[in-house]
């Protein structure tokens, strides 16, 4: 797993590319998707409690890993805390449930999925109190070895700064929406300065047919020039900056194509052109309103 990985501050080495599993459900679909991904070279699987697929992923891995002569130690598993489970004790219970669902003794990475709490208004100060309590639970689970690395998702710089002021164990990872239509340069700089690995989701835009990012004329131009797909260009743009990516697909050819991004480079001029496409477009969630 040494090649194309990043060393996390408190934990193991983490593959720069992982398989995203958001909206991928059904035992047969997950089994075939994981088998194709692992055969293609993926060694990182990203899930979450709210995806409602942890049990099927755990069962599928038990079947697929021996078939491919792989062990649990060969793969990196990430899951995330649901917003409804924020707070002291609730976070710990939720994490242990994820461990049980995934049929594993430890998680390589566990994230607080959202800075807010389900059922609480975005501007309620309890959001801050409860997410800090959740972090304390994660610190204890980390010390116990049940989580090898801990981090957050959808946190803005102010949320991270607050966490850094109160934590004992600093976060390893920030998982956030990031792509050429939403270039979060300042947040990336903050994470780099604080040794927090910056991992992007929604690197390919939306999953709808009207995908403006994949159809962007500049992305298509660069893809044609390189003889690659627009998806490969978007993923390479991130990886080339040391940013992790989590492409998701159930299409076997797309799964294989998405990991084939390490054998080419985008030149400086085209990297700049992609950076200049930013227009503040959130295709998923926007956490700016969470206090």
Give the pair of three-digit tokens for residue 15.
Answer: 């593959």
Concerning whether 201 is annotated as a catalytic residue, the answer is no
Give the pair of three-digit tokens for residue 217.
Answer: 């004329």
Distance, in Å, from the CA atom of 150 to the CA atom of 252, rounded to the nearest integer, reads: 31
Alpha helices for 227-263 (secondary structure H): 230-239, 252-259
Catalytic residue among 51, 110, 201, 283: 51
Does 142 carry a binding-site annotation? no
Distance, in Å, from the CA atom of 57 to the CA atom of 71, rounded to the nearest integer, reads: 15
Whose CA is closest to 44, among 229, 244, 205?
A: 244
β pairing state of 5-7 and 13-15: antiparallel
Exposure pattern of 223-242 as b/e (b: 16+ CB <10 Å)? beebebbbbbbbbbbbbeee
Binding-site annotation: residue ranges for substrate = 113
Which are the catalytic amino acids? 51
């Amino acid at each position: 797993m040494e090649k194309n990985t990043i060393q996390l501050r408190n934990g193991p080495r983490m593959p720069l590319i992982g398989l995203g599993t958001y909206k991928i459900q059904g035992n047969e679909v997950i089994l075939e998707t994981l088998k194709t991904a692992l055969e293609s070279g993926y060694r990182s699987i990203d899930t979450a409690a709210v995806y409602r697929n942890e049990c099927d992923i755990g069962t599928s891995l038990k079947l697929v890993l021996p078939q491919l002569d792989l062990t649990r130690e060969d793969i990196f598993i990430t899951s995330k805390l649901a917003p409804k489970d924020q707070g002291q004790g609730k976070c710990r219970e939720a994490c242990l449930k994820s461990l049980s669902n995934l049929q594993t003794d430890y998680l390589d990475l566990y994230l607080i999925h959202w800075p807010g709490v389900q059922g609480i208004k975005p501007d309620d100060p309890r959001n801050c109190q409860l997410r800090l309590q959740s972090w304390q639970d994660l610190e204890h689970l980390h010390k116990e070895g049940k989580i090898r690395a801990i981090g957050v998702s959808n946190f803005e710089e102010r949320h991270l700064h607050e966490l850094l002021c109160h934590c004992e164990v600093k976060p390893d990872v920030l998982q956030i929406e990031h792509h050429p239509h939403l270039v979060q340069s300042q947040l990336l700089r903050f994470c780099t300065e604080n040794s927090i690995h910056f991992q992007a989701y929604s690197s390919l835009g939306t999953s709808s047919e009207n995908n403006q990012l994949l159809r962007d004329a500049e992305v298509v131009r660069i893809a044609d020039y390189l003889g690659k797909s627009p998806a490969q260009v978007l993923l390479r743009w991130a990886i080339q900056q040391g940013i992790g990516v989590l492409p998701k697909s159930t299409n076997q050819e797309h799964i294989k194509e998405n990991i084939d991004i390490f054998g080419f480079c985008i030149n400086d001029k085209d990297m700049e052109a992609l950076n200049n496409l930013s227009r503040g477009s959130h295709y998923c969630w926007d956490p700016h309103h969470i206090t």
